Structure 1
Amino acid sequence: MTRIRAWFPTLLLVLLFGLPAASPSFAALETPFLAEKVASGKLPPVDQRIPSEPHLVTFDDDSGKPGQPGGDLTMMMSRAKDVRILFAYSYARLVAYNTDLNLEADILKSVEAEDNKVFTLHLRPGHRWSDGSPFTAEDFRYWWEDVILNPDLPPFTPPPEMLSGGEPPKFEVLDETTVRYTWKEPNPVFLPALAAARPLEIFGPSAYLKKFHVKYAEAAELKARVKEAGQKSWAHLHNRMDNAYDNDNPDMPTLQPWVNTTAAPAERFVFVRNPFYHRIDEAGHQLPYIDRILVQIADSKIIPAKAGAGEADLQARYIRFDNYTFLKQAAKRNDYKVDLWKVGSGAHLALFPNMNIADPEWRKLFRDVRLRRALSLAIDRDELNEVIYYGLAQASNNTVLPRSPLFKPEYQKAWTNYDVAQANRLLDEIGLTKRGSENVRLLPDGRPMEIIVETAGESTEEVDVLELIADSWRKIGVKLFTKPSQLEVLRNRIYAGQTMMAIAKGVDNGIPTADMAPTEFVPMDQNQYEWPKWGQFYQTGGTAGEKPDMPQPMELMDLMTEWRTAKDTAARADAWHRILAIHADNVFTIGLINGTLQPVVVRSTLRNVPDEGIFSWDPGAHFGIYRPDTFWFARKS
């Protein structure tokens, strides 16, 4: 068993983070925000609240400087439901990505991984949940045996990341701070899933959740709780109370740096520091530095204006590049700066033809690669770049970015050159030669070839882009209509096969390495708008959705299996390249441009927020890999 710091390129290792644990002479400093509670006996002193081997955070020139505790940080969200993004931003994970996109132990003390089959997880002794209850192997056992393997509780089956070769792992509790998962076949997606922006949570606060579980709770008390909560059964109640990511249960203990104290609905949510958080800095300060995060709810359309007026200490969500000039002009006056971070998605925007659409005629057409290629060739991406993005972006397929070691120019450029003549030839080859009024092509059943592209309606940018595409598509006899909608409505329509085509951001992870799972390029998720029913089929183990019945998507699934069972990084890279080549040549999604920049509004006194960063959901959790628990406010002189 080797012991090294970096995760890549092998998975026969132990993951470590930071420096060795503090020595007995190390002096942890009490946080002023909690001093009164400690003095009154409501909280134990800090050296009794942190693990005996805490996660020691160090700094260098790239990661910032040690800070001072205190202060409130304000940001804005458009809906109460959006406070769940704080779980991503906070980014405390069993294992986490660092800024080099290597995995390192975080909540865990270490991980031993053998051939991607056996994973032994070591917890930090003395680690506690935010309510002070012990965080131990029992929290992992409870999640696996009493929740996941319980036929009465959703999701009724292990998550896909917990299956390899269709089989779940053998789970063992070795001692109070050690658990082990053993698969018969390699499961290289396991550790990356633990580090995701929305992570695979393989544990839960068992002492808290047992109050809602029929196996542990006193029957009369549980019945009363179910009735009081207005739930149908104990299982419904348990599911409602066990929802860490959504941040919608203020009573649920957490391991994140801040704890939500506000129940929805509300116009302002208050997150306060977790007194039992596991990270400390070299000076002995328990993190996070910031005492409270205040989340104001506002209409997404006015958030850029409110940020420009100085009402946010840190804001990127709901802000677009076309807000940059306005924000920059008001920055000095309202005591903030505006940084530009590179966007990490494979395409800033892409079109998603729904190959699972219910309409049989359109389903047949969207599954014909010649149609998808023609629609892509008929888009003038250079015009989009100049008119909408001031020439700062670049034409691109929806694929990996140049920063990724998997990048090849042919993936980026496949079927993206503007060629109306070739697009028309492809449509003629399909047999779409008849024309109706306004020279619009006719479908085989006589309907005009009118494509309705649905948007989430959160900005005018998508509508502006679609207007330019509509002009281009008229030259090939295709009429485009735009239909704004709300995100949840749009997703439900896509899932049901009612949406013809959607416009949205491309793949989240445009900067993968070979050791990261290629799941976004394979039909494995219902939220993949191009093949939602195939993704649902995979996610539910075949109990819902539709089994893939196109040769190329089926080949992608086979290549995913090859990636999972590959013996080394080189073999995983080979599977990746074949997946990317198939994806680019078949134009399952129609990428438009990438290389865009994300404005980030930062209060002038807020420290350790990088001037340049990658704004990426996975990997990265937007602000997450830059450790928001280390952000701090400097005092004005």
Structure 2
Amino acid sequence: MSRRTILYGTAIAAGSVVLAACSGGGGGTPGSGGANRDSGTDAPAGVKGSAKEPPPVPSGFKESPLLKAQAASGAIPTLAERLPERPLVVPHTWVQEGKYGGKVRMLCETTSGDRAASIGEFFCGHKIIRFVNDGLDIIPGLAESWEMNADASEWTFHFREGLKWSDGKPWTTKDIMFWWEDIVLDEAHTEVPPDETRSGRNTLAKFEAVDEVTLKMRFDAPAPLTAQRIAMWVNGPMQNGPWWMVPAHYAEQFHPRYNKSAPKNWAAAGGVFETKVDFTRNPDCPTMTGWRCKSHDARSVVFERNPFYYVVTKEGSQLPFVDELVFTAVLDAEVGKLQMQQGNVDYVQGQFLKVGLSDISVFRRAEERSGLALLLWDGGSGTSSMWFLNYDHKDPELRKLFREPKFRQALSFAFNREEAQKSIYFEQGELTSGTLSPKAKEYLVNDQGKQAYQEWRDAWVKYDPETAKRLLNEVGVVDKDGDGIRELPSGKKLKLSIDRSANADPEHIQKDNLLMRDWKAVGVDATVNPIPPEGFNELWDNGQLMVHSNWEVGDGPNHLLYPQWLVPIEQSRWAPLEGRMYSLRGTPAENQELDVDPFKRTPPRMEAEKGGPIEQLWNKYDQTKLEPDEMKRTQLVWDMIKIHVEHGPFFSGTVANTPRVILKKKDLRNVPTKQNLQLGGFANPWIHPTPAVYDVETYYWDNPDQHP
């Protein structure tokens, strides 16, 4: 999230009033039975959530007049020929029957590179199975049903008969096998096996295409999280999780195994293959999503309706309702906000365009001119802007200090979170020491889960400078020369470097300024160190940076889907070298260079301390990967949380579950309000793809002729 600099006093008061007015989601009172006309949602207020099973397939189907005309001319097959035998029916209770036509104009930061991944967050069509109810439930997607054997070591997915790519060619399990055998298992390519393809013993599953609509995954040990992990992310080669499928009939022409004239170094030829099979950039590439790419350049991407999309409403209308989606790149966030205020934008998903809580009053004042209604969905973050020390820092004295729980606790107690909540977050959210998302299942299942969350949330949340000073004294970090700044036990001056990406959002900049002030008040000197984004990761991974400050923890819907914050299993978080060691388990590198300095290994990696907290976390996590009983897995997660409480904090937060800003034209319908969503929304995590999980294809214009 990103906010502009916020002034105190009247600005904060005005923002708080506006947030209070918006917090209900934009209209209606639960149980009132009224329609949320101001927000553009026709469902009665209080209609919440999605069916856990899709509604029955309707007896008849309808289509866009444009497609009907094309079918009549013979340009495309009839609707009956384009749809699978049993289409997926959207299960959301707030969705009303819509109207066909019009286009939706949106902004994006760029149309290529990492930051363009936000465009993919609008498409769920490549999902085998899908999250609903803010991650609490899973429904079918391309697969109509699935099952596992008794110990969860074999999974079978049954796909819909008659699925077709956007070019009309049949979709089959060959498209998954091409991805698996010709891309993932081809060592020349950088695509790696995702977690959901590994067993609890960290070995790869064996894939078998039983027939064109049946896929089996066989593991050498229980793999109970397979379905949940397949349900997360959006899929495709646009940096939003694993690909999972590629249109083999199209992609084979760029692969040397099938086309002898293709470059032999196909996987390293300037990203040509990735570009060719990226349906968000290449108009020629077929897709299974609701819209297909019509045009792409550095300035914009235009998507047009996919005639073969396999999803319908309960009334039988083939989706999507809107003819086109238009994404226009804006390099300057403030320029983009000006376009929104002028009414040149139809829909805004706040986190992708640096639209935050500090912008609310501006958009409220411009509402009449812009025509944009403002919604607030829950973000679901467990931290908002956070920080964490490098547990594996290269300097031995700093590494020893950073591994001392009392030192990290002192830094947490020294931070005035209430002031940060007021000045950065307009008094929204709840103060937190830092946890995974408060929406995670482990916290909602029973009272023990609620207690586990509260204990972790409140462990070091209090603003208590005197306790901070005492803890610093206890670990030997004292002011020896009387200048007000503490020294390390060795006598050297302690000076923390708050390392953040040079393009950090204002939210993080404001928080870091407060951190520096509060830490200095207890004698800990700190300065900000902006680092070019392209070089940041390598420095952090190698233990050369001290304090990472410009991230948040938003992950859920449960702790084990994306457990990297709970347990170090890769190199980008709080224990980078030990996380890297875990990630290399089962590979030849695991037992190589053990007599070499960990920081001189290739890549740098480090064993966990025997009996230490990381080894304890690894052991518990390894048990979860083999445990088929969900409640027993939950208990293991609670055990890991206890390790965090006993030895933490390993990462520190500010406030949890702050709102996410959504802007939409008032006559754009079927956009849910917070009231309509099962948990009020879950907008922050990429593994819970938002807004794709709410089926953007159902959005429609009340007056499509006015949005050509």
Q: TM-score, normalised by structure 2?
A: 0.80
The residue number in structure 2 matching 1:290 is 322
1:110 to 132, 145, 158: 145
- The 8 Å contact of residues 605 and 635 in structure 1, kept in 2 or not, is answered as yes
Please report how far the alpha carbon of residue 545 of structure 1 lies from its aligned counterpart in structure 2 after TM superposition: 4.7
Residue 189 of structure 1, CA deviation: 2.9
Match of 1:558 among 615, 619, 633: 619
Given candidates 569, 573, 588, the residue that maps to 2:650 is 588
Q: Post-superposition shift, 1:492?
A: 4.1
**Secondary structure in 2 aligned to 1:480?**
strand
1:490 counterpart (514, 521, 536)? 536
Structure 2 residue aligned with 1:576? 637
Are 2:644 and 1:602 aligned? no
Query: Relative to 1, partners in 2 of residues 1:277 and 1:390: Cα closer, same or farther, differing over 3 Å?
Result: same
The structure 2 residue matched to 1:532, chosen from 564, 576, 581, is 576
Measure the CA separation in 2 of the matches of 1:517 and 1:493: 23
1:98 paired to 2:99? no
CA contact (8 A) 2:384 2:655 kept: yes
1:16 touches 1:111 (CA, 8 Å); kept in 2? Answer: no
Aligned counterpart, 2:499: 454
> Using the alignment, how far apart are the partners of 2:485 and 2:284 within structure 1?
58
Instruction: Give the equivalent residue in structure 2 for 1:205.
Output: 247
Instruction: Report matched runs for 1:23-422 at 5 Å.
Output: 23=59, 26=60, 28-35=61-68, 37-58=70-91, 60=93, 63-80=94-111, 81=113, 82-92=115-125, 93-99=127-133, 101-114=136-149, 115-155=151-191, 158-164=193-199, 165-197=201-233, 198-217=240-259, 219=260, 221-222=261-262, 226=263, 233-237=265-269, 240-242=272-274, 247-264=280-297, 266-298=298-330, 299-315=332-348, 316-317=350-351, 318-403=354-439, 404-405=443-444, 406-408=449-451, 409-422=454-467
Q: Tell me the residue number matched to 2:688.
A: 620
**Aligned with 2:420: secondary structure?**
helix
Matched residues in 2 for 1:437 and 1:68: separation? 73
Q: Deviations over 1:54-102 (max 9, x none)?
A: 1122553xx2211112221111112223332222222231111112520
CA 325–449 in structure 1, closer or farther in 2 if over 3 Å, else same: same
Q: Counterpart of 1:451 in structure 2: which amino acid?
A: L
Of the three residues 471, 474, 478, the one matched with 2:520 is 474
Closer, same or farther in 2 for the Cα pair 1:557/1:58, shift >3 Å? closer
Q: Once structures 1 and 2 are overlaid, which stretch shifts more, 426-435 or 28-37?
A: 28-37
Q: Does the C-alpha gap of structure 1 residues 452 and 42 become closer, same or farther in structure 2, counting only changes over 3 Å?
A: farther
What amino acid maps onto 2:133 in structure 1? T
Following TM superposition, by how much is the alpha carbon of 1:379 offset from its aligned partner in structure 2, in angstroms?
A: 0.7
User: Could you tell me whether the CA contact under 8 Å between 1:381 and 1:593 is conserved in 2?
Assistant: yes
Match of 1:503 among 515, 540, 549: 549
Report the CA distance between 1:412 and its aligned residue: 0.5
Q: How big is the shift at 1:591?
A: 1.3
Deviation at 1:308, TM superposition (A): 2.6
Distance in structure 1 (CA, Å) of the matches to 2:477 and 2:177? 59
| SS of 2:662 mapped into structure 1 | strand
Q: Report the 3-state secondary structure (helix = DSSP H, G, I; strand = E; otherwise coil) of the residue aligned with 1:43.
A: coil
If asked which structure has higher relative contact order (CA below 8 Å, sep 6+), I would say 2
Instruction: Work out whether residues 165 and 171 of structure 2, in 8 Å CA contact, stay in contact via their aligned partners in 1.
Output: yes
Partner of 2:594: none
2:605 maps to which residue? 546
Which SS does the other structure have where 2:383 is aligned? coil
Contact 1:270 1:295 in 2 (8 A): yes
**What secondary structure does 1:269 align onto?**
strand
CA distance in 2, matches of 1:340, 1:506: 19
C-alpha contact (below 8 Å) 1:98/1:104 kept by paired residues: yes
Q: Distance in 2 between matches of 1:78 and 1:291?
A: 23
Task: Name 1:7's counterpart in structure 2.
Answer: none
Contact 2:382 2:438 in 1 (8 A): no
* Structure 1 length-normalised TM: 0.88
Q: Secondary structure at the match of 1:87?
A: helix
Distance 2:279 2:484 in 1: 50
1:432 aligns with 2:477: yes
Question: Could you tell me whether the CA contact under 8 Å between 2:172 and 2:212 is conserved in 1?
Answer: yes
Structure 1 unaligned segments of length 5 or more: list them: 1-14, 227-231
Shift, 1:325, TM fit: 1.1
- Contact kept, 8 Å, 2:312 with 2:318, in 1: the verdict is yes
Structure 1 position 252, deviation (Å) = 2.7
Q: Which amino acid aligns with 2:629?
A: D
Contact 2:278 2:285 in 1 (8 A): no
1:400-432: CA deviation from partner (whole Å, max 9, x where unpaired): 455441333111111221222222222222222
Once the two structures are superposed, residues 522-541 of structure 1 have per-residue CA deviations (whole angstroms, 9 ceiling, x without a partner) of 1123343x123333444454
Higher mean Cα deviation, 44-53 or 297-306? 297-306
Provide the identity percentage.
Answer: 26
C-alpha change, 1:182 and 1:508, in structure 2 (3 Å) is same
Single out whichever of 37-46 and 367-376 deviates more from structure 2: 37-46
Question: Could you tell me how far apart the structure 1 residues matched to 2:181 and 2:684 are?
Answer: 34
- Partners of 1:531 and 1:506 in 2: CA distance: 16
Match of 2:677 in 1: none
Amino acid at match of 1:479: D
Q: Distance in 1 between matches of 2:607 and 2:295?
A: 43
Whole-angstrom distance in 1 between the partners of 2:492 and 2:335: 41
User: Residue 290 of structure 1 aligns to which amino acid in structure 2?
Assistant: V
**Partner SS, residue 332 of structure 1:** helix
Number of the residue aligned with 1:635:
703
Aligned AA (1:433): V
Kindly indicate whether the alpha-carbon contact (under 8 Å) linking 2:106 and 2:345 is maintained by their aligned counterparts in 1: yes
Q: How is 1:507-522 mapped onto 2 (pairs within 5 angstroms)? A: 507-509=553-555, 512-513=557-558, 516=561, 518-522=563-567
User: 2:13 maps to which residue?
Assistant: none
Structure 1 pair 194/635, CA: closer, same or farther in 2 (3 Å)?
Answer: same
State the SS of the aligned residue for 1:168: coil
Instruction: Call closer, same or farther: CA 1:391–1:21 in 2, change over 3 Å.
Output: closer
Report the Cα offset of residue 246 of structure 1.
8.5
Contact kept, 8 Å, 1:313 with 1:602, in 2: the verdict is yes
Distance 1:473-1:263 versus aligned 2 partners, 3 A rule:
same
